[in-house]
Amino acid sequence: MTRPLDPATREALVERMRFYRDLGLTDFYRRPVDAALTTDADAPDPASEPLASSHHPAEVGAPGLASETWDSSPQPSFLAEEPAISARKGFSPPPQIAAAVPAAGRAAALQLIRDDIGDCTRCALHQGRNKLVFADGDPNARLMFVGEGPGADEDAQGLPFVGRAGQLLNNMIAAMGLRREQVFIANVVKCRPPGNRTPEPEEANTCLPFLFRQIDVVRPEVLVALGATAATYLLGARQPLAGLRGRVHSVRGARLIVTYHPAYLLRDPRQKKEAWADLQIAMRELGLEPSSRA
Ligand code: URA
């Protein structure tokens, strides 16, 4: 019989999975459990027990990039809440890049996209939505940030990155010598996923055409993908974040830099140095000096 995890262990496992996901590590294997090591006399035979329903986090296999040791057991519930970790769906080809909109018409063109989205019910995320989060910033920005999806603060205010992660993003932007009003900020999904979980592929793919349209209107010279979800959907391929950082990709006519999500940096501030190295690549691409004001 499957026993529920106690809340503290469950939270620790979820945090661990988020941590790995933010690093771009998405594949896991399960280490066989030695029945002699379990102290619980009632514990079922591990061979017949669904994955990790009662295991300590340390017993969940380390993330790996090879595929030969995949466990095909049913997913535990905490993994079901992180569908992007296990989802291995194909990506549809991105739509053609739209014709350029003159700078003076970009605000109106963005408003048209917002009007097209309307009071959206295209995916299940609308059910928990308070406010749809379209975007924020300069329609003529040279630099655009793309996050994953709104959190609680964003859902309440209808603006992207206004919570704790947003504060950190503002600081990152300031460190680049820019003001938030000078950049454009949007997300892969425009409605808050329940409990801030990763958007389901179906949700992300439903919303993605609107993000592509936003990019086509703003025409940023440089895009910064904040975290694995943004990188995955912008590039149309799931790859470990570690392999995507440190180089310049090309997406919809823009140069794309991949870095850590600010929420991940709040959990592991030691990685801020790495994120700063990524932002310096973006600055170099924009011809910005660390102290300059664009
Ligand atoms: N995290 C995101 O990915 N986007 C937001 O807008 C806020 C937090």
pLDDT value at position 19?
55
Along the 294 residues of the chain, how does pLDDT read in single tens digits? 556 777 777 766 766 666 556 555 555 555 555 454 443 433 333 332 222 222 333 333 333 322 222 222 333 332 333 334 333 456 888 999 999 999 999 999 999 999 999 999 999 999 999 999 999 999 999 999 999 999 999 999 999 999 999 999 999 999 999 999 999 999 999 999 999 999 999 999 999 999 999 999 999 999 999 999 999 999 999 999 999 999 999 999 999 999 999 999 999 999 999 999 999 999 999 999 865 444
Tokens at 69, concatenated: 């040791």
pLDDT value at position 226?
98
Q: What is the dihedral of CA 135, 140, 141, 147, to 10 degrees?
A: 20
- Per the CB < 8 A criterion, the answer to whether 73 and 80 are in contact is no
Closest residue to atom 7 of ligand 1, CA basis? 161
Helices (H), 118-257: 152-157, 164-175, 201-218, 228-235, 241-244
Q: Is 149 in the pocket of ligand 1 (CB under 6 A)?
A: yes
Among 161, 164, 229, 234, residue to substitute to test ligand 1 (most atoms within 8 Å of Cβ): 161
CA of residue 160 to ligand 1 center, whole Å: 6
- How far apart CA 128 and CA 121 sit, in angstroms, is 11
pTM of the model: 0.73
* CATH 3.40.470.10 intervals, the chain: 103-286
Which CATH number is correct for 103-286, 3.40.470.10, 3.40.640.10, 3.20.20.70, 3.40.50.720? 3.40.470.10
- How far apart CA 92 and CA 76 sit, in angstroms, is 28
Among 125, 154, 189, residue to substitute to test ligand 1 (most atoms within 8 Å of Cβ): 154
pLDDT value at position 4?
72
pLDDT value at position 13?
72
